[in-house]
Each structure stands twice: as structure tokens, then as C-alpha cells.
Amino acid sequence: MADMSPFFRSRTRRDHLVTLIRKPGCHLCDDAQVVIEKVCGDLGVRWEQKDITQDPELHAEYWEQIPVVLVDGRQHTFWRVNEDRLRKALTD
């Protein structure tokens, strides 16, 4: 069987990007970062963090939900990050 065109192939784990939107001094943000570092490290997924206090657009959209986790630019969760749920989102 011939390889499928890259157009039809599903995304690999390494194609994902997890974004943690956080603010300084936030203990829930620190907890979320621990989970993200573990899951992304285990799976080889890239992740980044953004400081809500440095971005007016992020502040306007998410200030009541910090921390917020995005997977590939779409909101995955807020306040508390569930390790199993994040892992599933990155492997399905």
C-alpha cells in the first residue's frame, strides 16, 4: 500500500502546540504548568506560556479564567488542568 499524501495524514503529536495563559503570582497557574510540562514532556509536544498582564487582548478575553490552556489555539480548559484529559487531547 502506498503512503498517503501528507494532506490526508493526521497530525502527529509533535505538530501540536499547548499554550498556557497565565499571570505572575498565580498558584493555579503554577499547578497548571507542572501538569503541562509533564504531559508535553512525556509526549514530545511543544508548549509555550503567555503572560496575560503583557497582552491586552488575552487579558480582555481570559482575565476571569486564568490559567487558561489552549491546544492548537483553541481553548482546552481553564482554572485546573486534568492530566488525563490533556493527554487524551494530544493523542487522539
Q: What is the pLDDT of residue 21?
A: 98
Separation CA 22–CA 38 (nearest Å): 17
Separation CA 59–CA 40 (nearest Å): 25
Separation CA 72–CA 25 (nearest Å): 26
What confidence tier does 92 reach under pLDDT thresholds 50, 70, 90? confident
* Segment 1-13 mean pLDDT: 46
Separation CA 78–CA 9 (nearest Å): 30
Contact status, residue 50 vs residue 1, Cβ threshold 8 Å: no
The proportion of the chain whose per-residue pLDDT surpasses 70, expressed as a percent, equals 85
- The residue behind cell 498565580 is 26
